[in-house]
Amino acid sequence: MRGLLETFGPLSDWSDFAGSWDSLEPDAYLANVGLHRRRRHAVFSATGETIAREPHQPHYQSRDYNTLQGGIERWFAPVPPEIADSASLRSILQFCRSFFGGLAPEVVNWHIELHQFRIEARAGEPGQPTPEGVHRDGVDYVLVLLIDRMNIASGTTTIHAADGSLLGSFTLTHALDAALVDDSRVFHGVTPVEPEDPAQASHRDVLVVTFRRRV
C-alpha cells in the first residue's frame, strides 16, 4: 500500500500525520450511549484531477444506513488545515481519486468525506469500531486505512453480502494496511476490540475516506 500511495505523492510527513490522532476530540454523539470514540471530519470535492477542501459541514446519514445515529446532522471537530494540507493526506486522496475514478470513469465530480477515528478499549469495556453494526455507508466507495494499533486485540474486518452472509474477513494489523470497499455491492463491519493488557491504554486509529458521485 505504501508503494501505491507513493506513486501519487510523498508520505514524508507521515509521523506528524499519524501523530494528529493523539489530539482527536471525543465523539459527543456516541458518548450518549457510553461508547468511546474520538474523531475529526472534513469534506473535499474532486473534479477531474483537482481535489479541493470544502467548507466545514455536518456529516449526515439516513437511518437506512445508520440505524444508531442516522437521520440527524452530526457536527464533528474539523480536521485542522495542517493535516488537511499534509503531503500524506494529499497522496492518499489522489490515490483514491485515481483508483475509484478508474472504477467509475463516467463520474466527473466526487463528494469526498474523510474521518479520523480513534477507538478506545478499556478493561471490561470493548471498543466498538462500528457501533452501528454490519452496515453500508450510503456512498459509492470507501477506503479504510489503518494508522495505528496499540495494545489492541481483535478488530477484524468482515465483508458481507446483501443477505448478511459472510463473504470474508481479515484484520488490519500494520500501519497502511487497507480495505477498499465497493459500498454499493457489499456490507462491512469490524469486530469489537479489547486491550491485550487491561492495565495499559489501548486504541485503534483509522482513516476512513468515502467517495460519492455528485448528481
Q: What is the pLDDT of residues 145-184, one digit of tens each?
A: 999 999 999 999 999 999 999 999 999 999 999 999 999 9
pLDDT over 80 at 2, yes or no: yes
End-to-end CA distance of the chain: 31
3-state secondary structure 75-126: CCCECCHHHHCCHHHHHHHHHHHHHHHHHCCCCCEEEEEEEEEEEECECCEC
Give the residue extent of every domain in the chain.
2-213
The mean pLDDT of the chain is: 91
Give the pLDDT confidence of 15-36 residue by residue, as tens digits: 999 999 999 998 877 655 446 7
- Cβ atoms 116, 20 nearer than 8 A: yes
- The confidence score (pLDDT) of residue 34 equals 45
pLDDT at site 123: 80
pLDDT at 127 over 90: no
CA distance 30 to 128: 10
CATH number of 2-213: 2.60.120.620
